[in-house]
Amino acid sequence: MPLLEARDVVSGYGDAEILHGVDIDVGEEEIVTIVGPNGAGKSTLMKAVYGLIDCWSGTVTFEEREVTDLRADEVTGQGLCYVPQRENVFPNLTVRENLEMGAYIDADVREEDFRAAFDRFPVLRERQHQKAGAMSGGQQQMLALSSALMLDPSLILVDEPSAGLAPDLVDDMFDQLVGIRDETETAILMVEQNAQQALSVSDRGYVLDMGENRYEGTGQELLESEEVRELYLGG
Ligand SMILES: Nc1ncnc2c1ncn2[C@@H]1O[C@H](COP(=O)(O)OP(=O)(O)O)[C@@H](O)[C@H]1O
Ligand SMILES: [Mg+2]
């Protein structure tokens, strides 16, 4: 049984059905990437899995427990965290306060949890007393990830971790994600526009198009598939 199992998920906004029955699995300690065109429903899928929007039908199972109808905060309590693409830090709080907020469910935030975050991203230690909103987009992304990790989740959903990063920082971000998985044994499900780079660090990947599964395979298989390359990876 995988860590996360989304089956036949149908969801959308108002009357608009966006996801028409999507399946996704994430295994323990796996890095899985969802790619696909703009508007395919990738972010919507993340929100449906995490409980920010309702699943109209289908099921989401996490650690063998059905979480389909749980609210996002309840899902977080189960050990599944989510890093949205935008507005993922509290700009008016300091870096350190942001990390404390990340651990809000955990009554005793331990100094070693801060140390782990600061060791991973030293710039956060340097800037721990500065407002998060004063940092660059890339630094905010590091903070958002670190805040999610404060609860020691077994899975994090990350929507476009490389969005807004300078091109020379994109590979660093993917290396950091691999490092996080290796060190903390946290599985990662991400959505990415930088499909080639993301798939190259992924154990498995999915192509989502128009709210439906199109292809799935190992990261390598998707990178080598002529169809996937031509249709989704820009040749
Ligand atoms: N809050 C929303 N309200 C209404 N429609 C939305 C909302 N968010 C996204 N959509 C629509 O849902 C579709 C899928 O969007 P999204 O999941 O963000 O795609 P992706 O992340 O793959 O680019 C798009 O047609 C988009 O316009
Ligand atoms: Mg999106």
Asked whether 61 and 5 are in contact (CB, 8 A), the reply is yes
From-to residues of CATH 3.40.50.300 in the chain: 1-79+153-235
The best mutation among 44, 52, 190 to test binding of ligand 1, ranked by most ligand atoms within 8 Å of the C-beta, falls on 44
Topology of 1-79+153-235 in CATH?
Rossmann fold (3.40.50)
Average pLDDT of the chain?
A: 94
Nearest-10 crossing angle of helices 137-149, 95-102: 30
In this prediction, the residues of the chain whose per-residue pLDDT falls under 50 are none
For residue 24, count CB atoms less than 10 angstroms from its CB and return exposed for 0-12, middle for 13-18, buried for 19 or more: buried
Across the beta sheet with 204-209, the strand order is 80-83, 155-159, 187-191, 31-35, 204-209, 212-218
Query: Cα(125)–Cα(77) distance, rounded to whole angstroms?
Result: 27
Ligand 1: list residues with CB < 6 Å: 13, 16, 18, 36, 38-44
Over residues 39-94, the pLDDT tens digits come to 999 999 999 999 999 999 999 999 999 999 999 999 999 999 999 998 899 999 99
| pLDDT value of residue 106 | 61
What's the pTM?
Answer: 0.95
Radius of gyration from C-alpha coordinates of the chain: 17
